[in-house]
Amino acid sequence: MIIFSINNSHDLAQTIAKKLKAKYAKLVVDDFPDKELYLRYPVNVSNKAIVLVESFQPVPDWSLYTVFFAARTARDLGAKKIILVAPYLAFMRQDKRFNPGEAVTSKIMAELLNYSIDHIITIDTHLHRYNSLRDVFNIPAKNLTANSLIADYIKKTIKNPVIVGPDSESYQWAEQIASEINAPCTVLEKTRFSSRKVAVKIRDSLDFANRAVVIVDDIISTGHTVVEAAKAVKKLGTKTIIVIGVHGLLIENAVSRLKQADVDKIITTNTIKSSTNVIDVSSILAKELLKCKLG
Protein backbone atom coordinates (compact mmCIF):
# COMPACT_ATOMS: atom_id res chain seq x y z
CA MET A 1 0.00 0.00 0.00
CA ILE A 2 1.30 3.47 -0.85
CA ILE A 3 -0.30 6.50 0.79
CA PHE A 4 -0.41 9.75 -1.19
CA SER A 5 -1.58 13.21 -0.28
CA ILE A 6 -2.70 15.55 -3.05
CA ASN A 7 -3.43 19.22 -2.21
CA ASN A 8 -3.82 19.12 1.56
CA SER A 9 -3.86 16.61 4.46
CA HIS A 10 -0.10 16.05 4.05
CA ASP A 11 0.52 15.74 7.81
CA LEU A 12 -2.48 13.48 8.36
CA ALA A 13 -1.49 11.23 5.43
CA GLN A 14 2.05 10.97 6.77
CA THR A 15 0.84 10.07 10.26
CA ILE A 16 -1.44 7.37 8.84
CA ALA A 17 1.46 5.98 6.77
CA LYS A 18 3.67 5.87 9.88
CA LYS A 19 0.99 4.05 11.83
CA LEU A 20 0.63 1.49 9.03
CA LYS A 21 4.36 1.36 8.30
CA ALA A 22 3.41 2.11 4.68
CA LYS A 23 5.24 4.15 2.08
CA TYR A 24 4.14 7.80 1.82
CA ALA A 25 4.56 10.31 -1.01
CA LYS A 26 3.14 13.65 -2.00
CA LEU A 27 1.64 13.77 -5.49
CA VAL A 28 3.26 16.38 -7.67
CA VAL A 29 0.45 18.84 -8.38
CA ASP A 30 1.08 22.03 -10.27
CA ASP A 31 -0.43 24.01 -13.08
CA PHE A 32 0.71 24.89 -16.54
CA PRO A 33 1.00 28.61 -17.40
CA ASP A 34 -2.57 28.59 -18.72
CA LYS A 35 -3.75 27.05 -15.39
CA GLU A 36 -4.40 23.56 -16.71
CA LEU A 37 -3.66 20.89 -14.13
CA TYR A 38 -0.28 19.14 -14.08
CA LEU A 39 -0.17 15.97 -12.01
CA ARG A 40 2.51 13.32 -11.57
CA TYR A 41 3.03 10.25 -9.36
CA PRO A 42 6.60 10.48 -8.05
CA VAL A 43 6.80 6.69 -7.44
CA ASN A 44 5.73 3.63 -9.40
CA VAL A 45 2.12 2.63 -8.65
CA SER A 46 1.84 -0.26 -11.08
CA ASN A 47 0.26 -3.28 -9.40
CA LYS A 48 0.04 -1.42 -6.06
CA ALA A 49 -2.89 -0.56 -3.81
CA ILE A 50 -2.85 3.18 -3.47
CA VAL A 51 -4.54 5.45 -0.96
CA LEU A 52 -5.28 9.06 -1.91
CA VAL A 53 -5.75 11.26 1.16
CA GLU A 54 -7.56 14.51 0.41
CA SER A 55 -9.96 16.58 2.46
CA PHE A 56 -12.38 18.50 0.31
CA GLN A 57 -11.24 21.90 1.60
CA PRO A 58 -10.45 24.77 1.30
CA VAL A 59 -11.69 24.57 -2.32
CA PRO A 60 -13.98 21.51 -2.57
CA ASP A 61 -14.37 21.74 -6.36
CA TRP A 62 -10.61 21.71 -6.83
CA SER A 63 -10.25 18.72 -4.49
CA LEU A 64 -12.86 16.74 -6.38
CA TYR A 65 -11.28 17.61 -9.69
CA THR A 66 -7.75 16.66 -8.63
CA VAL A 67 -8.91 13.44 -6.93
CA PHE A 68 -10.64 12.45 -10.16
CA PHE A 69 -7.54 13.16 -12.26
CA ALA A 70 -5.28 11.43 -9.71
CA ALA A 71 -7.47 8.33 -9.62
CA ARG A 72 -7.76 8.08 -13.41
CA THR A 73 -3.99 8.50 -13.72
CA ALA A 74 -3.34 5.77 -11.15
CA ARG A 75 -5.63 3.41 -13.06
CA ASP A 76 -3.86 4.27 -16.29
CA LEU A 77 -0.50 3.52 -14.61
CA GLY A 78 -1.73 0.08 -13.53
CA ALA A 79 -2.64 0.58 -9.84
CA LYS A 80 -4.61 -2.46 -8.71
CA LYS A 81 -6.75 -0.72 -6.09
CA ILE A 82 -7.55 2.95 -5.50
CA ILE A 83 -8.83 3.95 -2.09
CA LEU A 84 -9.86 7.51 -1.32
CA VAL A 85 -9.58 8.74 2.26
CA ALA A 86 -11.55 11.99 2.35
CA PRO A 87 -11.48 12.96 6.04
CA TYR A 88 -13.90 15.76 5.14
CA LEU A 89 -16.16 14.98 2.19
CA ALA A 90 -17.83 18.10 0.82
CA PHE A 91 -21.00 18.44 -1.27
CA MET A 92 -23.06 16.22 1.06
CA ARG A 93 -25.21 19.10 2.32
CA GLN A 94 -26.65 19.64 -1.17
CA ASP A 95 -28.70 16.47 -0.81
CA LYS A 96 -31.81 17.66 -2.64
CA ARG A 97 -32.93 20.30 -5.10
CA PHE A 98 -33.89 23.04 -2.66
CA ASN A 99 -34.88 25.41 -5.49
CA PRO A 100 -35.94 24.63 -9.06
CA GLY A 101 -33.05 24.09 -11.44
CA GLU A 102 -30.40 23.54 -8.75
CA ALA A 103 -27.68 20.90 -9.06
CA VAL A 104 -27.81 18.12 -6.49
CA THR A 105 -24.03 18.23 -6.23
CA SER A 106 -23.74 15.34 -3.75
CA LYS A 107 -25.04 12.94 -6.42
CA ILE A 108 -22.77 14.30 -9.14
CA MET A 109 -19.73 14.22 -6.85
CA ALA A 110 -20.56 10.57 -6.07
CA GLU A 111 -20.95 9.72 -9.77
CA LEU A 112 -17.42 10.96 -10.45
CA LEU A 113 -16.00 8.98 -7.52
CA ASN A 114 -18.03 5.85 -8.29
CA TYR A 115 -16.43 5.91 -11.73
CA SER A 116 -12.84 6.55 -10.65
CA ILE A 117 -12.31 5.12 -7.12
CA ASP A 118 -12.68 1.55 -5.75
CA HIS A 119 -13.36 2.35 -2.10
CA ILE A 120 -13.99 5.50 -0.10
CA ILE A 121 -13.48 6.21 3.60
CA THR A 122 -14.66 9.40 5.25
CA ILE A 123 -15.49 10.71 8.72
CA ASP A 124 -18.81 12.05 10.00
CA THR A 125 -20.04 13.02 6.61
CA HIS A 126 -23.21 15.08 6.53
CA LEU A 127 -26.03 12.53 6.38
CA HIS A 128 -29.34 14.28 6.66
CA ARG A 129 -31.74 13.33 3.90
CA TYR A 130 -29.51 10.36 2.98
CA ASN A 131 -29.58 7.50 5.48
CA SER A 132 -26.16 6.22 4.58
CA LEU A 133 -23.41 6.57 2.01
CA ARG A 134 -25.02 3.68 0.14
CA ASP A 135 -27.71 6.14 -0.97
CA VAL A 136 -25.12 7.95 -3.10
CA PHE A 137 -22.17 5.60 -3.68
CA ASN A 138 -22.20 2.23 -5.40
CA ILE A 139 -18.59 1.46 -4.40
CA PRO A 140 -17.69 0.30 -0.85
CA ALA A 141 -18.02 3.45 1.25
CA LYS A 142 -17.36 3.78 4.98
CA ASN A 143 -18.46 6.67 7.14
CA LEU A 144 -16.41 6.59 10.34
CA THR A 145 -17.22 8.72 13.35
CA ALA A 146 -15.00 10.79 15.63
CA ASN A 147 -17.60 10.56 18.41
CA SER A 148 -15.51 8.34 20.71
CA LEU A 149 -12.42 10.52 20.24
CA ILE A 150 -14.50 13.60 21.09
CA ALA A 151 -16.07 11.85 24.08
CA ASP A 152 -12.58 10.92 25.36
CA TYR A 153 -11.42 14.51 24.97
CA ILE A 154 -14.39 15.86 26.93
CA LYS A 155 -13.97 13.23 29.64
CA LYS A 156 -10.30 14.09 30.11
CA THR A 157 -10.54 17.88 29.96
CA ILE A 158 -14.00 19.23 30.83
CA LYS A 159 -15.58 19.02 34.27
CA ASN A 160 -19.35 18.74 34.65
CA PRO A 161 -20.27 19.02 30.96
CA VAL A 162 -23.72 19.27 29.37
CA ILE A 163 -23.73 18.32 25.70
CA VAL A 164 -25.72 20.50 23.31
CA GLY A 165 -26.48 19.74 19.68
CA PRO A 166 -27.36 22.97 17.85
CA ASP A 167 -29.91 21.46 15.42
CA SER A 168 -31.96 18.33 14.84
CA GLU A 169 -29.31 16.66 12.63
CA SER A 170 -26.70 17.02 15.35
CA TYR A 171 -28.41 14.44 17.60
CA GLN A 172 -26.19 11.77 15.95
CA TRP A 173 -23.13 13.41 17.53
CA ALA A 174 -24.57 15.00 20.66
CA GLU A 175 -26.54 12.01 21.93
CA GLN A 176 -23.83 9.42 21.32
CA ILE A 177 -21.10 11.54 22.86
CA ALA A 178 -23.28 12.32 25.89
CA SER A 179 -24.12 8.67 26.41
CA GLU A 180 -20.44 7.63 26.18
CA ILE A 181 -19.52 10.00 29.01
CA ASN A 182 -22.78 9.78 30.88
CA ALA A 183 -23.54 13.50 30.59
CA PRO A 184 -26.89 15.23 30.10
CA CYS A 185 -27.72 16.24 26.56
CA THR A 186 -30.14 18.42 24.67
CA VAL A 187 -30.67 19.13 21.01
CA LEU A 188 -31.80 22.60 19.94
CA GLU A 189 -34.13 23.58 17.13
CA LYS A 190 -32.64 25.48 14.20
CA THR A 191 -34.36 27.38 11.42
CA ARG A 192 -32.14 28.21 8.48
CA PHE A 193 -33.10 31.30 6.47
CA SER A 194 -30.00 31.41 4.27
CA SER A 195 -26.35 30.23 4.22
CA ARG A 196 -25.49 32.96 6.69
CA LYS A 197 -28.68 33.42 8.71
CA VAL A 198 -30.04 30.92 11.22
CA ALA A 199 -32.17 31.09 14.36
CA VAL A 200 -31.88 28.61 17.22
CA LYS A 201 -34.40 27.81 19.94
CA ILE A 202 -33.91 25.81 23.13
CA ARG A 203 -36.42 22.96 23.33
CA ASP A 204 -35.86 21.59 26.82
CA SER A 205 -33.87 23.52 29.33
CA LEU A 206 -31.29 21.66 31.40
CA ASP A 207 -29.10 23.01 34.19
CA PHE A 208 -26.94 25.21 31.98
CA ALA A 209 -25.89 27.64 34.72
CA ASN A 210 -23.81 25.21 36.78
CA ARG A 211 -22.27 23.23 33.98
CA ALA A 212 -19.79 23.67 31.16
CA VAL A 213 -21.83 23.74 27.97
CA VAL A 214 -20.23 21.75 25.16
CA ILE A 215 -21.83 22.45 21.78
CA VAL A 216 -21.00 19.69 19.29
CA ASP A 217 -21.61 19.70 15.55
CA ASP A 218 -20.27 17.97 12.48
CA ILE A 219 -19.36 21.08 10.48
CA ILE A 220 -18.47 24.54 11.67
CA SER A 221 -18.50 26.56 8.49
CA THR A 222 -19.39 30.26 8.87
CA GLY A 223 -20.01 29.55 12.56
CA HIS A 224 -23.50 31.09 12.56
CA THR A 225 -25.14 27.87 13.80
CA VAL A 226 -22.94 27.47 16.86
CA VAL A 227 -22.93 31.23 17.52
CA GLU A 228 -26.74 31.26 17.74
CA ALA A 229 -26.64 28.14 19.94
CA ALA A 230 -24.06 29.81 22.20
CA LYS A 231 -26.18 32.96 22.48
CA ALA A 232 -29.25 30.91 23.42
CA VAL A 233 -27.52 28.99 26.22
CA LYS A 234 -25.74 32.11 27.43
CA LYS A 235 -29.12 33.70 28.17
CA LEU A 236 -29.76 30.87 30.63
CA GLY A 237 -26.74 31.79 32.75
CA THR A 238 -24.04 29.52 31.32
CA LYS A 239 -20.54 30.57 32.33
CA THR A 240 -18.40 28.29 30.17
CA ILE A 241 -19.10 27.49 26.52
CA ILE A 242 -16.89 25.13 24.55
CA VAL A 243 -17.57 24.39 20.90
CA ILE A 244 -16.39 21.13 19.37
CA GLY A 245 -16.68 20.53 15.64
CA VAL A 246 -15.54 17.49 13.71
CA HIS A 247 -14.78 19.53 10.60
CA GLY A 248 -13.47 23.04 11.23
CA LEU A 249 -14.09 24.80 7.92
CA LEU A 250 -14.13 28.06 9.88
CA ILE A 251 -14.66 30.38 6.93
CA GLU A 252 -15.52 34.08 6.79
CA ASN A 253 -14.01 34.99 10.19
CA ALA A 254 -15.88 32.24 12.00
CA VAL A 255 -13.29 32.13 14.79
CA SER A 256 -13.69 35.81 15.68
CA ARG A 257 -17.48 35.49 15.37
CA LEU A 258 -17.38 32.66 17.91
CA LYS A 259 -15.11 34.61 20.24
CA GLN A 260 -17.45 37.61 20.08
CA ALA A 261 -20.27 35.28 21.13
CA ASP A 262 -18.31 34.50 24.32
CA VAL A 263 -17.25 31.03 23.27
CA ASP A 264 -14.35 30.13 25.57
CA LYS A 265 -12.76 27.42 23.47
CA ILE A 266 -13.08 26.13 19.90
CA ILE A 267 -11.89 22.58 19.38
CA THR A 268 -11.82 20.66 16.12
CA THR A 269 -10.42 17.38 14.81
CA ASN A 270 -7.65 17.37 12.22
CA THR A 271 -9.83 16.30 9.28
CA ILE A 272 -9.08 19.79 7.91
CA LYS A 273 -5.95 21.83 8.66
CA SER A 274 -6.78 24.47 11.28
CA SER A 275 -5.16 26.13 14.28
CA THR A 276 -8.14 24.89 16.34
CA ASN A 277 -7.27 21.21 15.77
CA VAL A 278 -6.76 19.24 18.96
CA ILE A 279 -8.30 15.82 18.31
CA ASP A 280 -6.35 13.48 16.04
CA VAL A 281 -8.36 11.17 13.74
CA SER A 282 -5.38 9.32 12.22
CA SER A 283 -5.90 6.24 14.42
CA ILE A 284 -9.46 5.54 13.20
CA LEU A 285 -8.44 6.05 9.57
CA ALA A 286 -5.41 3.77 9.90
CA LYS A 287 -7.51 1.10 11.59
CA GLU A 288 -10.10 1.22 8.79
CA LEU A 289 -7.42 1.00 6.10
CA LEU A 290 -6.12 -2.19 7.72
CA LYS A 291 -9.52 -3.76 7.06
CA CYS A 292 -9.55 -2.91 3.35
CA LYS A 293 -9.04 -5.65 0.81
CA LEU A 294 -6.03 -4.60 -1.24
CA GLY A 295 -6.37 -6.94 -4.20
* Catalytically annotated residues: 190
Q: What angle do CA 134, 69, 247 make, to 5 degrees?
A: 55
Nearest distance, CB of residue 69 and ligand R5P, angstroms: 28
Nearest distance, CB of residue 225 and ligand R5P, angstroms: 3
Nearest distance, CB of residue 108 and ligand R5P, angstroms: 19
Q: Which of 143, 225 has the CB closer to ligand R5P?
A: 225
In angstroms, how far is CA 158 from the centroid of its own chain?
Answer: 23
94 bridge partner residues: none
Per-state percent for the chain, helix, strand, coil, to nearest 5:
35, 25, 40
Nearest distance, CB of residue 168 and ligand R5P, angstroms: 9
Q: Which of 48, 190 has the CB closer to ligand R5P?
A: 190
Nearest distance, CB of residue 292 and ligand R5P, angstroms: 28
Q: Which of 161, 245 has the CB closer to ligand R5P?
A: 245
Distance CA 281, CA 226 (A): 22
Q: Where does this chain bind ligand R5P (CB under 6 A)?
A: 167, 169-170, 198, 217-225
Which residues fall within 8 angstroms of residue 97, CB to CB, at 6 or more apart?
A: 104
Q: Where are the alpha helices (DSSP H) in the chain?
A: 10-20, 60-76, 105-116, 147-157, 171-181, 224-234, 254-260, 282-291
The answer to whether the beta carbons of residues 6 and 29 sit under 8 Å apart is yes
Q: Which of 227, 286 has the CB closer to ligand R5P?
A: 227
Local structure of 165: helix, strand or coil: strand
Q: Which of 19, 234 has the CB closer to ligand R5P?
A: 234
